Amino acid sequence: MTVALQIDDVHKWFGSHHVLDGLSLRVDSGEVMGLLGPNGCGKSTVLNIVSKLLPYDLGRVRLMGKPLSEMGHRERELVGVCTQHCALYPDLFPAENLHFFARLYGLSEQERHERVAELMHRFGLENFARTRVGQLSGGWRQRLHLAVSLIHKPKLLLLDEPTAAVDLEARMDLWRLIEGLRDSGTTILLTSHHLAEAQRLCSRVALMRNGQVIAVGSVPELLARLPGQAVAKVQSEDSEAVMQRALDLGWHVRQHTDEMRLLLPQHLSLREIVDALDGTKVSAVSVLAVTLDDVYLELMGEGLRPSPFI
């Protein structure tokens, strides 16, 4: 397994704001790594550093084994980037945007024509050939944005919230496109606030907090670190009594905002849960398999209690 990107102990300050505080992360060739974390935790900063849009202050970043700091203009083109805020030209047609970026990356005229035609076809953009980009829907604009980031066949693709601000149908379309890239072996580092998206697309995910990666692994690996295999969401007018009963049963209890979540040591039926909580005033129970949401809540959950991850 070759390493596409290795970030070691990177620090970044914006003035006195210490945004990255010794962040380390490895992305292997051929994998899709998801970078997750709350607003402002530094996800875009990481991507902007890797694509050399931003300098970093301390630490080491290696791309395909070579220090980023020693890379010339051509080697930087190993990376393709779809920034969080759309970088397309609204007055131009889709193919004109693709040609513009192809020229910027130094593709020859013949390569340009072949590549633009291939991407217009692959991303279904031919139907919008005469629509100015400013007139495209958000979903189609984002498809074009993704196509543009691939124009020079990068070895590492950075996608910053690729499906933010698009509707569900467009999001599912983009997921299929990203899955196609993944299945053809493209190495991808993407950020997202949609945990279901990360769960679907990523081979591994990294969770960020306070400028560091605090947990990394495949979704099954992260789920296996939870102190439960299923979650019962319980509503009760006497939540104290329910919590006490659950604790007596050896279940882990989490109170996130106004929702009580009981982490069950194994899958139990609704009947078994209600029986186990018998005598407490339970008004509603639903039981779900654990997901990345539970991992996220466990790590980010308002500092409720020491997390088993840390």
Ligand X SMILES: Nc1ncnc2c1ncn2[C@@H]1O[C@H](COP(=O)(O)OP(=O)(O)OP(=O)(O)O)[C@@H](O)[C@H]1O
H-run or E-run covering 197 = helix 195-201
Q: Tell me if residue 200 falls in helix, strand or coil.
A: helix
Pairing of strands 204-209, 212-217: antiparallel
Token pair in block for residue 295: 């991992």
DSSP secondary structure code for residue 276 in this structure = H
Nearest to 55 by CA among 101, 107, 117, 13: 13
Residue 14 binding result from ligand X, Mg ion, none, given CB thresholds of 5 to 8 Å by partner type = ligand X
Report the alpha-carbon distance of residue 35 to residue 148 in Å, rounded: 22
- For residue 54, which amino acid is it? L
Residue nearest to Mg ion (CB): 44
Using the structure block, give the residue that is written with the tokens 């009963």.
245
Rg, the chain, Cα only: 23
Nearer to ligand X, 171 or 254 (CB): 171
Q: How far is the CB of 41 from Mg ion (least distance, A)?
A: 9
Q: How far is the CB of 12 from Mg ion (least distance, A)?
A: 14
Residue 19 binding result from Mg ion, ligand X, none, given CB thresholds of 5 to 8 Å by partner type = ligand X
Report the alpha-carbon distance of residue 224 to residue 216 in Å, rounded: 12
- Does 51 bind Mg ion (CB under 5 A)? Our answer is no
At what angle are helices 138-149 and 168-183 packed, to 10 degrees?
20
Residue 273 binding result from ligand X, Mg ion, none, given CB thresholds of 5 to 8 Å by partner type = none
Nearer to Mg ion, 43 or 152 (CB): 43
The residue range among 14-22, 41-49, 259-267, 289-297 that interacts with Mg ion, by the rule CB under 5 A, is 41-49
- Does 44 bind Mg ion (CB under 5 A)? Our answer is yes
Residue 39 binding result from Mg ion, ligand X, none, given CB thresholds of 5 to 8 Å by partner type = ligand X
DSSP states along 218-259? -HHHHHHTSS-SEEEEEEES-HHHHHHHHHHTT-EEEEETTE
Distances (CA, A) of 207 to 10, 38, 309: 16, 9, 11
Give the interface with ligand X as residue ranges (CB under 6 A): 14, 19, 37, 39-45, 84
The residue range among 36-44, 62-70, 74-82, 205-213 that interacts with Mg ion, by the rule CB under 5 A, is 36-44
Nearer to ligand X, 198 or 230 (CB): 198
Nearer to ligand X, 145 or 254 (CB): 145
Residue 184 binding result from Mg ion, ligand X, none, given CB thresholds of 5 to 8 Å by partner type = none
Site string for Mg ion, 69-108 (x = CB under 5 A): ---------------x------------------------
Residue 42 binding result from Mg ion, ligand X, none, given CB thresholds of 5 to 8 Å by partner type = ligand X
Cross-strand partners of 52: none
The contact set with Mg ion (CB under 5 A) reads 43-44, 84
